[in-house]
């Protein structure tokens, strides 16, 4: 039974023709309100993941629940169809369970608040925001157990409930929820920040409606949706062929020894719409790498990718959703059946962007991007602080790592960047001030970006010296299957993690590991992967390669992938470079549209020698996807 909206004023909104100036003012006011949501959040939250890195996602929707500004697209329509209750002025919804909202949030660490905005007795908008909580209880610190077999092991699950009801705060609910977490101070502050951000946006909406009139405001939101629909219709006709194209990529492993896991998507245009069919994607994992992909979320991913590649000036919103038909097999890695574990869904979520790039670029290779930093590596470090004056107080760190953005048609991929454009790094000074660690190195990893006319961005090497005994956990990917290059560009280098003990011995640790014991003065070398290269590396300016040697981005040995012979000072030997390039051209054959690197079979055979880790075992499915 769908939700009941309680409105004391039943008068419908009148449709008004909006002049371009007014529309532009309202559009930019909404953009600014969304930015103000983020600013409110980072000034109010406490956890490093939200306050320092910005791991939270805002939304302002129209009165029907369609997103006007935001990042992940609106889940509100699906929520309203599933929520068996009422929504009235003074209510605010709180939830975190992916299975109770159709994957609007994709793991239980993401806490979401939803505020229906009323004005003069009528529902005029919705504001919402969700953010990643550093700990929600469960079997491991950080609440993201790699070896979980069900969502019940991953911490507190919150179905849609009213945190505020008719203006009254549900304090008992909050006591119950905060009792489950190891960091109630952080979680309470972060939740309050989400609430504050939604209320700020609601005030701005009401101010706009008061200034221009309710009918003008609502009509403007509908025109913004309609404009997006028209623009996307044009882009679809230009960029999407009727003939199906397919693309597939992999999650390296599940953290318990099995992998890789395939994600496959086929795309075509039919009756003016895009069909995106994930048939052929592997069945759900028994471990926690499943990603409950909300169809509207994927529509938004598709729209963002289309707009950023073909027309970045478009304000993306939910107006185009009826143009996208998304088909995801039940029981697959992207639509697992309850109660499948979901806490490690980051890698599949990020890999979706590589899949989209591979699909959209096949018709228009000049717009094709390589595979990039399509994940958000997690580091967890926790224990009792044994340093003098700390009295053994509990600490726990959750940090998101950065890597190499892919080589692109317009230039090199940025080095050491986040998958999400709005994320920022945790300052090293912050880490050293609040956690028992020193940051010994924080630098680009040379040669990790794939060679190309446009180089893939380098990953980073971050070396932590740990100053207190404790445990670390790591969630990362792309250590087994490399990020591919395009249009003749080479794949990027893979991720690796090295634990250097206090006595100098080194141990290769996996990229998905749980509760690794560490001691004082151990060092963790956290090395992320680079983006794939774009275009023929032999066309790259040798002088630029030489300059990058001096900048520490490329080594003299790595320069040979560009056919460049240079010394450690970046001095290029022109004659030797010309000869090497001629030799490479004569022996390499035709350039590849996609360069995936070695086959899966070769990667398995050489895994131990190349990575220091055993190859993952081909998964055996508990049940096939329907």
Every domain of the chain and the residues it spans: 4-232, 368-536
Contact 144/162 with Cβ under 8 angstroms? no
Write the pLDDT tens digit of every residue in 355-403: 998 998 887 788 888 998 888 899 999 999 999 999 999 999 999 999 9
Whether the predicted pLDDT of 186 surpasses 80: yes
SS3 24: helix
- How is residue 488 written in tokens? 């003749």
Write the pLDDT tens digit of every residue in 63-100: 999 999 987 777 788 788 778 899 999 999 999 999 98
Percent of the chain with pLDDT over 70: 98
Q: Tell me what pLDDT residue 316 has.
A: 80
- pTM, rounded to two decimals: 0.94
Write the pLDDT tens digit of every residue in 95-139: 999 998 888 889 999 999 999 999 999 999 999 999 999 999 999
Contact 151/338 with Cβ under 8 angstroms? yes
Q: Tell me what pLDDT residue 303 has.
A: 86
Taking residues 318-345, what's their average pLDDT? Answer: 95
Task: Tell me the C-alpha distance between 581 and 575, whole Å.
Answer: 10
Whether the predicted pLDDT of 420 surpasses 80: no
Contact 115/136 with Cβ under 8 angstroms? no
- Position 625 confidence tier, pLDDT thresholds 50, 70, 90: very low
Task: Tell me the C-alpha distance between 61 and 225, whole Å.
Answer: 10
Look at 110-124, 235-249, 538-552, 600-614 and tell me which has the smallest mean pLDDT: 235-249
Q: Which of 414, 497, 480, 400 is nearest to 449 (CA)?
A: 414
- Position 503 confidence tier, pLDDT thresholds 50, 70, 90: very high
Mean pLDDT of the chain: 93
- Which DSSP category does 3 fall into? -
Q: What is the largest CA-CA distance in the chain?
A: 82
Write the pLDDT tens digit of every residue in 342-362: 999 999 999 998 999 899 888
Write the pLDDT tens digit of every residue in 125-177: 999 999 999 999 999 999 999 999 999 999 999 999 999 999 999 999 999 99
Q: Tell me what pLDDT residue 98 has.
A: 94
Whether the predicted pLDDT of 623 surpasses 70: no
């Amino acid at each position: 039974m769908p939700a009941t909206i309680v409105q004391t004023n039943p008068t419908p909104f009148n449709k008004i023709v909006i002049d371009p100036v007014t529309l532009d003012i309202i559009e930019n006011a909404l953009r600014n309100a969304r930015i103000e949501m983020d600013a409110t959040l980072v000034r109010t939250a406490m956890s490093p993941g939200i306050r320092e890195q910005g791991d939270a996602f805002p939304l302002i929707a129209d009165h029907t629940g369609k997103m006007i500004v935001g990042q992940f697209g609106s889940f509100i329509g699906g929520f309203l169809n599933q929520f068996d209750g009422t929504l009235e002025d003074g209510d605010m919804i709180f939830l975190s369970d992916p299975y109770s909202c159709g994957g609007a949030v994709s793991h239980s660490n993401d806490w979401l608040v939803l505020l229906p905005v009323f004005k003069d007795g009528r529902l005029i908008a919705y504001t919402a925001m969700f953010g990643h909580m550093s700990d929600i209880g469960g079997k491991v610190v950080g609440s993201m157990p790699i070896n979980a077999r069900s969502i019940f092991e991953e911490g507190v699950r919150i179905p849609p409930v009213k945190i505020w009801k008719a203006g009254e705060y549900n304090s008992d609910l909050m006591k119950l929820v905060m009792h489950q977490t190891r960091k109630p101070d952080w979680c309470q502050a972060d939740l309050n920040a989400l609430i504050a951000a939604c209320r700020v946006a609601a005030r701005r909406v009401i101010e706009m409606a008061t200034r221009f009139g309710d009918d003008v405001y609502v009509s403007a939101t509908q025109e913004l949706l309609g404009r997006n629909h028209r623009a996307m219709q044009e882009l679809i006709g230009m960029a999407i062929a009727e003939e199906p194209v397919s693309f597939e990529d992999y999650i390296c492993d599940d953290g318990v020894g099995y992998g890789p896991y395939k994600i496959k998507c086929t795309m075509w245009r039919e009756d003016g719409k895009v069909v995106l069919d994930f048939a052929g994607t592997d069945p759900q994992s028994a471990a926690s790498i499943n990603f409950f992909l909300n169809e509207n979320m994927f529509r938004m991913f598709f729209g963002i990718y289309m707009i950023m590649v073909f027309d970045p000036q478009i304000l993306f919103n939910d107006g185009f959703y009826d143009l996208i038909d998304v088909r995801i097999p039940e029981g697959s890695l992207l639509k697992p059946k309850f109660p499948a574990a979901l806490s490690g869904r980051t890698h599949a979520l990020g890999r979706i962007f590589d899949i989209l790039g591979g699909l959209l670029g096949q018709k228009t290779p000049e717009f094709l991007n390589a595979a990039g930093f399509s994940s958000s590596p997690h580091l967890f470090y926790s224990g009792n602080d044994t340093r003098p004056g700390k009295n053994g107080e509990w600490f726990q760190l959750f940090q998101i790592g950065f890597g190499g953005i892919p080589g692109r048609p317009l230039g090199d991929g940025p080095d050491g960047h986040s998958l999400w454009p709005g994320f920022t790094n945790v300052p090293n000074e912050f880490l050293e001030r609040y956690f028992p660690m020193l940051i010994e190195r924080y630098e680009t990893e040379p040669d990790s970006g794939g060679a190309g006319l446009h180089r893939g961005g380098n990953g980073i090497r971050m070396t932590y010296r740990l100053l207190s005994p404790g445990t670390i956990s790591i969630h990362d990917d792309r250590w087994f299957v490399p990020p591919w290059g395009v249009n003749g560009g080479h794949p990027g280098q893979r991720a690796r993690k090295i634990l250097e003990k206090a006595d100098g011995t080194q141990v290769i640790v996996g990229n998905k590991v749980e509760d690794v014991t560490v001691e004082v003065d151990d060092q963790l070398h956290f090395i992320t992967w680079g983006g794939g290269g774009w275009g023929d590396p032999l066309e790259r300016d040798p002088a630029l390669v030489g300059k990058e040697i001096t900048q520490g981005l490329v080594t003299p040995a790595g320069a040979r992938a560009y056919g460049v012979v240079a010394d450690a000072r970046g001095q290029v030997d022109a004659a030797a470079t010309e000869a090497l390039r001629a030799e490479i051209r004569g022996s390499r054959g035709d350039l590849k549209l996609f360069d995936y690197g070695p086959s899966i079979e070769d990667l398995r055979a050489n895994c131990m020698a190349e990575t220091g880790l055993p190859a993952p075992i081909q998964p055996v499915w508990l049940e096939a996807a329907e």
